[in-house]
Amino acid sequence: MTSKEIFARNLRALRLARGWSQEELAHLAGLDRTYFSSLERQKYAPTLDALDKLAGALEASPSAMISGQLQG
C-alpha cells in the first residue's frame, strides 16, 4: 500500500469517526472541498501544508496520517 493510499484511508476513517462530511472537514482545515475530495479518492497526494492542516483539524499527528499509526 502506498503512502497516498494509507493517507486517504486514514483521512476518511478519521473523518467518519467524527461524523463529519467532507465539506465540514475541508472547512475546518481551511481547504477547498473539491481538493479534499480528491485527496480521499487518491487523485492527489497532499501537500505538506494540507497534511498539517488536516492533521490539526483531526487532532492526529501528520506522521501518523501517512504511516498508518494513528493515535486517536
Contact of 25 with 15, CB cutoff 8 Å: yes
In the chain, domain spans: 3-60
pLDDT in tens, 1-57: 888 999 999 999 999 999 999 999 999 999 999 999 999 999 999 999 999 999 999
CA-CA distances (angstroms) from residue 29 to 12, 25, 45, 53, 65?
A: 14, 6, 16, 5, 14
Considering the segment(s) 3-60 as one domain, its CATH architecture is Orthogonal Bundle (1.10)
Model's pTM, two decimal places? 0.87
Sorted by sequence, the CB contacts under 8 Å of residue 3 that are 6+ apart come out as 45, 66
Range from 34-38, 42-46, 61-65, 68-72 carrying the lowest mean pLDDT: 68-72
**What is the C-alpha to C-alpha distance for residues 6 and 25, in angstroms, rounded to an integer?**
18
The pLDDT value recorded for residue 70 is 61
